[in-house]
């Protein structure tokens, strides 16, 4: 094999060797320097990683603890029957207070006649609304200002009722608001506009009544009371008298009982506003709810099937048995919300406790030297502040809020409103100064 001749020193090809070696050394040196820089940065991060913290301001919060129950309604009520079958048209609104002998429904052999009667009832309601809206033909600036203020207040009342979960109050407010707005509108309408509309409604009613020809069979209220356009056959079973000597077994038997026949019933009527709900719950919890409270203590119950309508009840009785962990709690009220369906059995939520305090994330709570609390940040200084958890819900704690003369206050060493609470961080301790 032919060997390549060695290059003489100083030849052109030999001159490139030192430069190639230098380039390799340069690349190696750069890599080493880069590694050293990375190592330094890593060291600094390792030394200072505990200084990176996440904070959240401690804010006031409100929470409710609720117990799900199945509420059974007890009332003094009787079915109202029609003398003949057919299509029914109601002349009294659901929940309306009626007098003895008042027509509450009309039964017709023709479904069309029932629809006609319903239309007559609607027109009468419109006439009543327009009559309430009359009497505001002119107004000075002062009266107009008052009227506008009343309308604004009415709108806010409806909004508040809806936000509070009280649609019945919202409906009542809606009717009052409509009257006020009609009065406001009447200032810009020709004189006698409402009277003319009332006359048109009355003329339509006369025409509809003539078409009926008196063919309907009218149903009267057997006594004065509150009328409802449904009956379930339990009117003689779930009565206030059944609550007097109620036992746990007796209550369970009532819940499994069959309704009495109620064919031909067009509704039911209750002579008084008082009604009751009864439900089972843990005996210890029932005792805790009533212990130390007066007989007129208030209990809030919401009804999911009624748009979470809230009704205030008072305690009537608690039924227990020594060999049972179950109790029957009976509550009563005189409140009759408009539009509330008195279904015999329905789900309900009993408000058992309310909590007002300071809200913090669950991750912020720590136990240090046997004390429960949180780390807070005052400037760049870490402090440990004790607190007491009142309630937990959906990843948040509601903690005790220091009070003074009924107002939130800050106490040394205690979690207070608006503290910068450390949610996450490492190597924290009292007095640590963060970089």
Cα-to-chain-centroid distance, residue 316? 25
Question: Does 263 share its domain with 330?
Answer: yes
Question: Does 140 share its domain with 190?
Answer: yes
- Residue 28 belongs to a domain: no
Q: Is the pLDDT of residue 386 over 60?
A: yes
Q: Is the pLDDT of residue 327 over 90?
A: yes
Question: Does 361 share its domain with 407?
Answer: yes
- Residue 89 belongs to a domain: no
Higher pLDDT, 170 or 341: 341
Question: Does 267 share its domain with 375?
Answer: no
- Residue 252 belongs to a domain: yes
What is the rounded CA–CA span in Å between residue 212 and residue 215?
6
Out of 164, 193, 221, a domain closes at 221
Question: Does 158 share its domain with 256?
Answer: no
Chain mean pLDDT for the chain: 81
Q: Is the pLDDT of residue 135 over 50?
A: yes
Radius of gyration in angstroms for the set of CA atoms belonging to the chain, rounded to a whole number: 39
Dump pLDDT digits (tens) for 22-37: 454 455 556 555 555 6
pLDDT for 213 equals 58
| Cβ neighbourhood burial of 145 (10 Å; 0-12, 13-18, 19+) | exposed
Total domains, the chain:
3
Range with lowest mean pLDDT among 158-167, 283-292, 306-315? 158-167
Question: Does 199 share its domain with 247?
Answer: no
pLDDT for 250 equals 96
What is the rounded CA–CA span in Å between residue 161 and residue 46?
56
Q: Is the pLDDT of residue 7 over 60?
A: no
- Residue 135 belongs to a domain: yes
Range with lowest mean pLDDT among 183-197, 254-268, 401-415? 183-197
Range with lowest mean pLDDT among 90-104, 131-145, 308-322? 131-145
- Residue 306 belongs to a domain: yes
Higher pLDDT, 148 or 334: 334
pLDDT for 209 equals 72
Question: Does 202 share its domain with 278?
Answer: no
Out of 306, 331, 355, a domain closes at 355
Q: Which domain holds residue 372?
A: 51-60+356-424
pLDDT for 393 equals 81
Out of 221, 242, 271, a domain closes at 221
Confidence of residue 162 (pLDDT cuts 50, 70, 90): low
Q: With left for phi above 0 and alpha for psi between -120 and 50, is residue 395 left, alpha or beta?
A: left
Higher pLDDT, 115 or 319: 319
Q: Is the pLDDT of residue 324 over 80?
A: yes
pLDDT for 217 equals 80
Question: Does 306 share its domain with 410?
Answer: no
Q: Is the pLDDT of residue 47 over 70?
A: no
- Residue 93 belongs to a domain: no
What is the rounded CA–CA span in Å between residue 27 and residue 46?
29
Question: Does 152 share its domain with 186?
Answer: yes
**3-state per-residue secondary structure call for the chain:** CCCCCCCCCCCCCHHHHHHHHHHHHHHHHHHHHHHHHHHHHHHHHHHHHHHCCEEEECEEEEEEEEEEEEEEEECCCEEEECCCCCEEEECCCCCCEECCCCEEEEEECCHHHHHHHHHHHHHHHHHHHHHHHCCCCCCCHHHHHHHHHHHHHHHHHHHHHHHCCCHHHHHHHHHHHHHHHHHHHHCCCCCCHHHHHHHHHHHHHHHHHHHHCCCCEEEECCCCEEEECCCCCCCCCCCHHHHCCCCHHHHHHHHCCCCCCCCCEEEEEECCCCEEEEEEEEHHHHHHHHCCCCCCCEEEEEEHHHCCEEEEEEEEEEECCCCCCEEEEEEEECCCCCCCCCCCEEEEEEEEEEEEEEEEEHHHCEEECCEEEEEEEECCEEEEEECCEEEEECCEEEECCCEECCEECCCCCECCCCCEEEEECCCCCCCCECC
pLDDT for 53 equals 84
Q: Is the pLDDT of residue 109 over 60?
A: yes
Question: Does 281 share its domain with 176?
Answer: no
pLDDT for 195 equals 75
pLDDT for 111 equals 62
Question: Does 295 share its domain with 399?
Answer: no
Confidence of residue 175 (pLDDT cuts 50, 70, 90): low
pLDDT for 202 equals 78
pLDDT for 112 equals 66
- Residue 142 belongs to a domain: yes
pLDDT for 122 equals 78
Higher pLDDT, 322 or 74: 74
- Residue 253 belongs to a domain: yes
């Amino acid at each position: 094999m032919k060997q390549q001749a060695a290059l003489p020193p100083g030849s052109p090809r030999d001159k490139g060797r030192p430069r190639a070696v230098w380039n390799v050394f340069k690349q190696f040196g750069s890599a080493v320097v880069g590694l050293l820089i990375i190592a330094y940065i890593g060291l600094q991060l390792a030394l200072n990683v505990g200084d990176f913290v996440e904070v959240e301001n401690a804010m006031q919060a409100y929470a409710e603890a609720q117990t799900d129950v199945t509420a059974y309604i007890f009332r003094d009520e009787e079915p109202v029957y029609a003398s003949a079958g057919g299509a029914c048209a109601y002349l009294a609104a659901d929940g309306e207070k009626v007098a003895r002998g008042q027509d509450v429904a009309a039964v017709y052999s023709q479904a069309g006649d029932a629809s006609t009667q319903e239309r007559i009832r609607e027109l009468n309601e419109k006439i009543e609304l327009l009559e309430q809206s009359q009497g505001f033909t002119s107004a000075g600036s002062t009266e107009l200002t008052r009227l506008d203020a009343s309308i604004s207040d009415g709108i806010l009342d409806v909004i508040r009722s809806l936000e509070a979960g009280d649609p019945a109050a919202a409906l009542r407010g809606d009717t009052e608001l409509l009257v006020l707005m009609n009065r406001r509108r009447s200032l810009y309408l020709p004189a006698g506009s409402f009277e003319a509309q009332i006359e048109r409604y009355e003329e339509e009613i006369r025409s509809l009544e003539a078409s009926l020809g008196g063919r309907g069979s009218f149903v009267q209220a057997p006594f004065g009371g509150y009328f409802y356009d449904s009956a379930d056959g339990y009117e003689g079973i779930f009565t206030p008298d059944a609550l007097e000597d109620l036992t746990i077994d007796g209550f369970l038997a009532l819940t499994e009982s069959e309704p009495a026949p109620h064919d031909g019933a067009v509704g039911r009527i209750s002579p008084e506003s008082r009604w009751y709900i009864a439900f089972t719950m843990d005996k210890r919890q029932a005792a805790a709810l009533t212990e130390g409270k007066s007989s007129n203590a208030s209990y809030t119950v919401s009804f999911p099937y009624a748009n979470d309508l809230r009704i205030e009840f008072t305690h009537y009785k608690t039924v227990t048995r020594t060999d049972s962990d179950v109790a029957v709690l009976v509550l009563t009220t005189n409140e009759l919300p408009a539009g509330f369906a008195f279904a015999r059995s329905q789900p309900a939520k009993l408000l058992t406790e309310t909590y007002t305090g300071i809200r913090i994330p669950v991750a912020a709570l720590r136990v240090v030297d046997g004390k429960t609390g949180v780390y807070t940040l005052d400037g760049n200084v870490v402090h440990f502040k004790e607190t007491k958890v009142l309630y937990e819900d959906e990843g948040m704690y509601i903690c005790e809020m220091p009070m003074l003369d009924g107002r939130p206050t800050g106490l040394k060493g205690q979690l207070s409103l608006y503290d910068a609470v450390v949610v996450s961080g490492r190597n924290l301790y009292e007095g640590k100064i963060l970089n």
